[in-house]
Structure 1
């Protein structure tokens, strides 16, 4: 393999890794924002909802709860937003969510 081919392979591999990292991060923000909105609706304050939503996907969080948060977020997205994530993230941010 010549140097140009090797450079292209490395470039593509780095792009794939960056894309995967972005998709994972966006999915977590999506699930946290949906959980934030759910917490607000159940009566939590903005601060409390942010604190609890931020605890998702941490090394100390419950993996089963994290998985259920993802499923709830997807269900809300499918039912109310045509499967799109950004409207939920924007709505949560407009109500005080930070990620």
Structure 2
């Protein structure tokens, strides 16, 4: 029950990230009042499809790196105008969501 409640808290924040912007796992953790639980956010997003359709591709790590093992994420972000540098990381100074 607690895990499901947390999942909906995380996913409600993810749902608010506008197209063309990204948020970090830590940023989402802070927004739900759990600033030390960035990894929990990642675990929830890994299973997000069981709760519905959410723009999880808009979430990256603190350095702008994309989720490992999800090559489609780069294409989804690029289609929204998010800039990826030569290493395939998001320029957070340019594209991070200012919530």
TM-score (norm: length of structure 1): 0.32
Compare the two structures and name the one with the higher helix fraction: 1
Compare the two structures and name the one with the higher strand fraction: 2
Greater relative CO, 1 or 2 (CA 8 Å, sep 6+): 1
